[in-house]
Amino acid sequence: MKFFHLSDLHIGLKLMNRDLGEDQIYILKQIVEIAKKEQPQAIVIAGDIYDKAIPSAEAVGIFDRFIAHLTESLPSAVLMMISGNHDSAPRVNCFRSILSKQNLYMVGIPPQNEEEYIEKVTLQDRYGNVNFYLLPFVRPSMVKSIVGVYENGNNLSYHDTIRGLLKRETICREERNVFVSHQFYLPIGEKVEEVDRMDSEIKTVGNIDVVSADVLEEFDYAALGHIHKPMKVGKEQFRYCGTPLACSVSESGQQKGIVMVEIGEKSAGIKTTVLPLKPRRQVRIIKGSLEEVLKKACNDYVTVILTDQTDLDVIDMQERIRIAFPYLLEIRRKVSRKENDRSEFLTEADLDPFELCCAFLKEPDGNQKEILRDIINKVQRGEGK
């Protein structure tokens, strides 16, 4: 059996106020063309279909046309997708039972009571069943009535929550099983700070959302979403496919693609192939003096970092750069600053919201930092609305 692993479409995303609608249409058409050529039996989208919980009409239209083109090109294929932390779970879950009869499984809400289990879609090939377990993004509070809480009444950790949900399932080890999930899985033995996270990802206070990858061991393949950089979670068959299109400047230079998964008989293992995607415009960082930068004029999305140590005519500089780069994202100046006898290079654009707030508050203490990080996380998730 052959299937495509995609995730984190983030339809409706703006890159520093640049509308990426046309770029997303371009890359989604490319996915359809590749699917038409490869003819997978299934396509999996592991969360974050949209960039916002309440997507714009334009974003919904883009997604609708994408699904329509996929079903036209692959009339017998099964499409499976889950909600991510950016999606509205009830919206993704809408018409779930009706759509499933059309080979379109959109699972937005995890099990809500003792009678419900993780959505399982079973497909067949000449070697027997391939079971897809579709678990949308989960917070411990969402499923505490099923998995319980700690003795002190606190919600379980993210790790114990996912482990608890999986323990409820009867997974047949003789059959081939695929887990589709949108969480932050950490490879066994690695530290959180060693994972290269992108600026476009939402991070939690103290990385409380971490789930150890050992919970994936029961599966033949884990199609993961949430991390925007393509990466393996300890093993070849546990993978984040990454975003199909760069969502931030920190993703510049990354080769984006579709993970094509081929599953043979149970004992044969898994074969994965990355099918590269070529964006309409690259996201690039161009660094150097003003004159060096201007020699690299292009039509990509560009962050310019100027290293000139002398003063520049600001108006003239901006005009010249904008002419050279019509899709300019930002201009940064690399400024030297000494602190604790160490020379560092910082700009405001390099700081995330948490760091900017800490700088404004002038060295807040540990408790204040925890409160601040929690507030920022809630604002980014839209919980403060």
Do you know the residue count of the chain? 385
The answer to whether residue 360 scores a pLDDT higher than 70 is no
| pLDDT at residue 344 in the model | 36
Q: What percent of the chain has pLDDT over 70?
A: 90
236-258 mean pLDDT: 95
Averaged pLDDT of the chain: 89
Comparing C-alpha atoms, which of 198, 296, 327, 320 is closest to residue 250? 198
| pLDDT at residue 207 in the model | 86
Residue 131 in tokens = 């079971």
270-281 mean pLDDT: 96
| pLDDT at residue 279 in the model | 97
Confidence of residue 183 (pLDDT cuts 50, 70, 90): very high
The answer to whether residue 349 scores a pLDDT higher than 60 is no
295-303 mean pLDDT: 96
Global pTM value = 0.85
The answer to whether residue 339 scores a pLDDT higher than 70 is no
Dump pLDDT digits (tens) for 362-371.
567 666 777 8
Yes or no: say if 96 and 106 are a contact pair by the CB < 8 Å rule: yes
**98: Cβ contacts below 8 Å, ≥ 6 apart:** none
Confidence of residue 302 (pLDDT cuts 50, 70, 90): very high
